[in-house]
Amino acid sequence: MDIHKNLLMLRKSCLIIFIIFLLRPSYAQVDNDAIEIGTLVFNPPYELVVDEHHNSSGFNIEIIQDICQLINTKCNMKPMRFDRLMQALDNGEVDAIIIGVSLMPKNGENYIFSQPYFMGDAVFLSLGSNQFDSFKKKPLVLFKTLFYHSANIVI
């Protein structure tokens, strides 16, 4: 699938998500102008908290910000641990959640799921001069990521 088809699918899926979302009653809204969105604290490059004020960044954050701008509505990001997302949705603490992982709760019939909005495969990159045989029976360790400084933020 080329990048243009991926982007078109992303736009259509995001629009469908929020049309469905806006048609149902909301219980988490603090005021009528804001939609509360649950996100993960740390799931780069999709979501991550970038400072002590809980400001978030990432692919999913940009999607939500663009959609909220399109529908002229304020959206508040509420970063939380993975194990709290569905509970927060059930309790009305958030109106919707967006995460960069597949999620299917046991009682999935109680939720509205979007179509996948991003198709991708994990890949490994290396110099052409490197041979994969050189990695056989050797431990591979990630020492540092682009987002290592955010990993220490506790929410």
67-82: per-residue pLDDT in tens?
A: 889 888 899 999 998 8
Domain spans, the chain: 3-152
Mark the ranges of the chain whose per-residue pLDDT is less than 50: 24-30, 142-155
Full-model pTM: 0.58
* Domain 3-152 homologous superfamily, CATH: Periplasmic binding protein-like II (3.40.190.10)
The CA distance from 4 to 6, in Å, is 5
Cα–Cα separations (whole angstroms), residue 128 to 55, 125, 131: 39, 9, 8
